[in-house]
Amino acid sequence: MHWFDMRLKEVSYVGDYRVHVCYAGALEADIDLSDMLEHPFYAPLKDPQLFAQVTVNPEVHVLEWPGEIDVAPEITFERACKAAGVHYAP
């Protein structure tokens, strides 16, 4: 798998702190981010209305929310691989 296959292209809110992610390399999956909300940085996202405002930053290809909240791309990609049953070893 090439680096450009790992570029996050699209995201949509699914519900219950889950999002559907689409990558340039055709990988798609629903990922659960609820466990991250216990960290103080992500605590504002416990508000379902704010969480639903998730977007993809088109310059750096990461999930982001208003208030400068984002998720490291490797976390999102690893979770998508696991959810889709795809083995990826960097």
Q: How far is CA 50 from CA 10, 64, 83, 86, in A?
A: 18, 11, 24, 30
> Average pLDDT of the chain?
92
Distance CA 64, CA 84 (A): 22
What are the pLDDT digits (tens) for 27-69? 999 999 999 999 999 999 999 999 999 999 999 999 999 999 9
Domains in the chain: ranges and CATH: 3-84 (3.30.2020.10)
Q: Is the pTM of this model over 0.85?
A: yes
pLDDT at position 60 is: 93
Residue 2 has pLDDT above 70, yes or no: no
